[in-house]
Structure 1
Amino acid sequence: MEGMILSFVDFLKQFSYFGLVAALTFEFVPAELVLPLAGYWVYEGDMNYWLAVLAGTIGGTFGPLTLYALGRYGGRPFLMKYGKYVLIKEKEIDAADRFFEKYGAGVAFFGRFLPGVRTTISIPCGMAKMNVWAFSMYTFIAMLPITAFYVYLGQKFGPNWKSVGARSEEYMLPVAAVIVVSVVLFILFKKTRKKLAS
């Protein structure tokens, strides 16, 4: 399966940054595989780091929108029946459902940093008919640091970019923790300042 995906992505490389956007628009194409490869292309001088990050972030926003649409217009019965064809398992949908019920619309941001729900979290957002612009904004803001992180690792590892997937989780958790804590502190700061002003 990985070989087929890499062949598909390699075919899209001829379209440069647009190809990178297109590759990540398909949710069955794992970003953990594509983005380090993009980093390797940066390492080889075929792409600019920041343009690769921008293209990856845009593609990483379009992709979840497809699952959002499936959740919004197809609903759970549709996903239970056809989800397996796009590599979505029932237990993943259940986990995303529970996470959404617990944390609300903010999961469109926070869920992107958590293994096991980062892909399927789009589905309950769609089923709950979350505002599509808010969903897209949360997803874009979350995907920006994630994309920058994976592309950077692919560039850093160079010819060994394939090992990024296996090593990424040990890097991802501290990075995610810093980002999430920073966002929470920023929100608390804004709320506190608003209260003091009123």
Structure 2
Amino acid sequence: MEELIMNLIEAFKELSYFGVILALTFEFIPGEVVLPLVGYWVYQGDMNLWLAVLAGSVGGVTGPLTLYAIGRYGGRPVVLKFGKYFFVREKELDAADRFFAKYGASVAFLGRFIPVVRTAISFPCGIAKMNIWQFSIYTFFAMVPITFLYIYLGYKLGPKWEQVGTIAEKYLLPFAIVALAGLILYIWLKSSSERKRKIAG
């Protein structure tokens, strides 16, 4: 199975940056494998770091959107039936459900930084029929730093890119805090600007 996945990823490489997006869209290929390998391609000089991060971030949205659609239009029974093909078992889905119940729509952002619910969190968002644009935006803002982390580590480790997963997990929580702070600041500045416009008007 692992050899098949690696062969698929290498085939996607032929499509360059679009291939990165495509590889991540099919969630049965773990992003934790794809992104470090993309970093290795950057190390080899086959790709540009920033374009690779952009492609990876876009793919980091199209992939979860696939799972969101399964949850939205298929419901929990379909998710339980086909979730195994996306490495999501009932245990992960239950954890994602609890996380969604506790934090609401913000899980589309926060859940990406938590290993146990990272992939599964898209399902309850779909089942709850969360606004698709809100889901996509939250997911994108979460995936930019995560994508950068995995690709950059793959780039720095070069031929040892397979070690990225172990190292990356240590940095995900600090990344989540920084990213969340940035998101809160953005929302605050935007709402503050709107209030000033209303006062001025």
**Counterpart Cα distance in 2 of 1:135 and 1:46:** 32
Structure 2: gaps spanning 5 or more residues: none
Aligned counterpart, 1:6: 6
Letter paired with 1:146: I
Percent identical residues: 60
Q: Which moved more, 1:178-187 or 1:89-98?
A: 178-187
Letter paired with 1:134: Q
Q: Say if 2:106 is the partner of 1:106.
A: yes
Cα 1:48–1:192, aligned 2, differ >3 Å: closer, same or farther?
closer
Aligned counterpart, 1:70: 70
TM-score (norm 2): 0.90
Cα 1:102–1:195, aligned 2, differ >3 Å: closer, same or farther?
farther
Aligned counterpart, 2:125: 125
Letter paired with 2:66: T
Letter paired with 2:81: K
TM-score (norm 1): 0.92
- How many Å apart are 1:84 and its aligned residue? 2.1
Q: Deviations over 1:111-162 (max 9, x none)?
A: 1111111111110110111111111111111111111111111111111111
Q: Which moved more, 1:133-142 or 1:179-188?
A: 179-188
Q: Report how many residues are paired.
A: 198
- How many Å apart are 1:67 and its aligned residue? 0.6
- How many Å apart are 1:180 and its aligned residue? 2.0
**Counterpart Cα distance in 1 of 2:21 and 2:194:** 39
**Counterpart Cα distance in 2 of 1:137 and 1:193:** 20
Structure 1: gaps spanning 5 or more residues: none
Q: Deviations over 1:42-79 (max 9, x none)?
A: 11110011111111111111000111001000001112
